[in-house]
Amino acid sequence: MSVRAPATSANLGPGFDALGMALRLYNEFEVRLRNDGELRVRVEGEGAGEVPTDERHLVVRAMRETFERAGEKLPGLDLACVNNVPHARGLGSSSSAIVGGVAAASALLGRTGPDGGPDRDGIYRIAADIEGHPDNVAPCVYGGYTVAYRDGDRWGAVSLVPDARILPVLCVPSWRLSTERARGLLPEEVPHSDAAFNAGRAALMTAAVCGHPESLYAATEDRLHESYREPAMPRTLGLIRDLRRHGRLPAVVSGAGPTVLVLCSVEEGEAVPDSPEITRQTDSIRRRAGKDWDVRPLPVEPAGVRTPSPHP
């Protein structure tokens, strides 16, 4: 069974723990069942030599959880991982592993969605339970631009198609930041005025992404989390202020950081990496970012996790 799970960018400024977007950068997992009950894990690319290659591997844990919920025991596995999503950069690498594991296990258990493809709703419920918050999980499962939420004891999500005039550009630094450290800097309470400000901006963000890209600059303003996290990533917040102040570019922290996401756009037509206007904006971002940042345009991934038919 081969599975491909995309990178994601969450929060998107004001949409803390709710908004997310899938990106065309993927982790790929190949699972082969073994009759002897043994587990073998091989990792290439990001995390090779760093992540565990035993029962603690995140894909294995997600697969085991999915099998146990179905009342089944996870069989022996050969798991091969080709990781392209940078770790600890705010691009949903852990969500990609969790979604990939749940999707592989779900397919091996014979579960499919209404269209015969992945059982996305089932995958989302389990993956969000494992992750604990849905903003990265939802776009990884459904693709596009997603609004994720909690409804009592259930997770919900709506997937929308972003305006074709928008192209995400990522500024990925060479250094890392753990999600736990970033979350640890957030206060228990915020002023009511800041909460109200973010509610309006989060609503504006959905309008901007789905038809009104001219509103992206205002829509990406945040008062709930970015400034509180500055002590852990001062260069990230410094780059965002520089891009916003001098380039009038809608720049935000991607996920928990330290990657910077810029939602570039064109006035007419489709935004593609080699179009003149996107090239101009990307070159401007590179000049301001400097050599310590990998600046890369990444189109939106429309479909989310993919699970081709199992190998014979």
pLDDT tens per residue across span 18-34: 999 999 999 999 999 99
Residue with tokens 């209404």: 114
Q: Same domain, yes or no, for 187 and 114?
A: no
**Within a domain: 96:** yes
Asked whether residue 94 is marked as a ligand-binding residue, the answer is yes
Q: Same domain, yes or no, for 126 and 13?
A: yes
pLDDT of residue 306: 94
Asked whether residue 93 is marked as a ligand-binding residue, the answer is yes
Residue (of 164, 170, 167, 143) closest to 274 by Cα position: 167
Supply 215's token pair: 């509103």
Asked whether residue 92 is marked as a ligand-binding residue, the answer is yes
Asked whether residue 86 is marked as a ligand-binding residue, the answer is yes
Is residue 107's pLDDT more than 90?
Answer: yes
> Residue 109 in contact with residue 118, Cβ under 8 Å?
no
- What is the arithmetic mean of pLDDT over 27-55? 95
Q: Same domain, yes or no, for 113 and 180?
A: no
Is residue 100's pLDDT more than 90?
Answer: yes
Question: Does the pTM of the predicted model rise above 0.85?
Answer: yes
- What is the arithmetic mean of pLDDT over 302-309? 86
Residue (of 70, 91, 75, 64) closest to 34 by Cα position: 75
pLDDT tens by residue, 133-145: 899 999 999 999 9
Asked whether residue 95 is marked as a ligand-binding residue, the answer is yes
pLDDT tier, 2 (very low <50, low <70, confident <90, very high otherwise): very high
Is residue 210's pLDDT more than 90?
Answer: yes
pLDDT of residue 309: 54
Residue (of 42, 48, 36, 47) closest to 60 by Cα position: 42
What is the total count of domains within the chain? Answer: 2
Asked whether residue 89 is marked as a ligand-binding residue, the answer is yes
- What is the arithmetic mean of pLDDT over 216-236? 97
Give the domain extent around 209. 166-297
**Within a domain: 28:** yes
Is residue 275's pLDDT more than 90?
Answer: yes
**Chosen domain end from 119, 138, 160:** 160
Residue 145, classed as helix, strand or coil, is strand
**Within a domain: 151:** yes
pLDDT of residue 6: 98
Q: What is the CATH number of the domain that holds 20?
A: 3.30.230.10
pLDDT of residue 169: 98
